[in-house]
Structure 1
Amino acid sequence: MQVTIDIESEEPLFGQLVGQIKKAVQAGQLLPEQALPSIRQLASDLSLNNKTVAKAYKLLERDGVIQTKGYRGTFVHPNALKNCTIDLPALVQAKLEDAVRAARAAGATDSEIRIAFSQVMQTQNMGETK
């Protein structure tokens, strides 16, 4: 698999990496259980900050495209091909659009919706830190 990062692109570097790894899985260039380079190695190979690669790996792991097996390393998830087709940002946006549409239909103003959204996010974040 060849990864090419375009520092001139408007797409964030971590997003480019996520997209290219997903495309490699879909094209059969990365197979289930195949080992991936360590964060440090890939960052060095691509002249990127370790945190950029770590963020990409974290998102790919969240999406079920890769899995970390402790000290053994990072590998392509057994269900990576199926999981590549899930567009989580689009799913989240669609659910938020539905919620905003329902709130407006109930008579809520945009300001009330924003305040409620902020409160929900704050409550959820506080619940995660406990």
Structure 2
Amino acid sequence: MKKYPYPTLIGSLMYLAICTRPDIAYGVFTLSQYCSNPGIKHWRAIKRILQYLKYTNDYGIKYSKNESFILLSYSDASWLTFKEDSKSLTKGCNIIAGGAISWTCKKQSLVAQPSCEAEYIVASNVAMK
């Protein structure tokens, strides 16, 4: 644990989540909230993500010329994910030709009252990407 500082590992994983590996975005996002005071369970979770990356090294985003060139957008919001500040989690992805071109996973900046308001916020955010 002393050899690899927690914030450095989170930064490296964040780069992967943003640039090439959207499949680890939620885990990295969650673990990044504990940079100032990580516990042993956070270190174990980072180790688990690193093992996952090791065994899925050949995974990637593939685009197909046979797929239609129509923009597909998917979005979801987990209402009241963060109890301490009553905020929701935003997740979304835009796909063209069978491959993702943009994705997001972050805490919403606004406090949504009902669940449908959280869904509306994430849909508008994904549409603007």
TM-score, with structure 2 as normaliser: 0.28
Q: Which has the larger radius of gyration?
A: 1
Give the TM-score normalised by the residue count of structure 1: 0.28
* Structure that is richer in helix per residue: 1
User: Greater share of strand residues, 1 or 2?
Assistant: 2
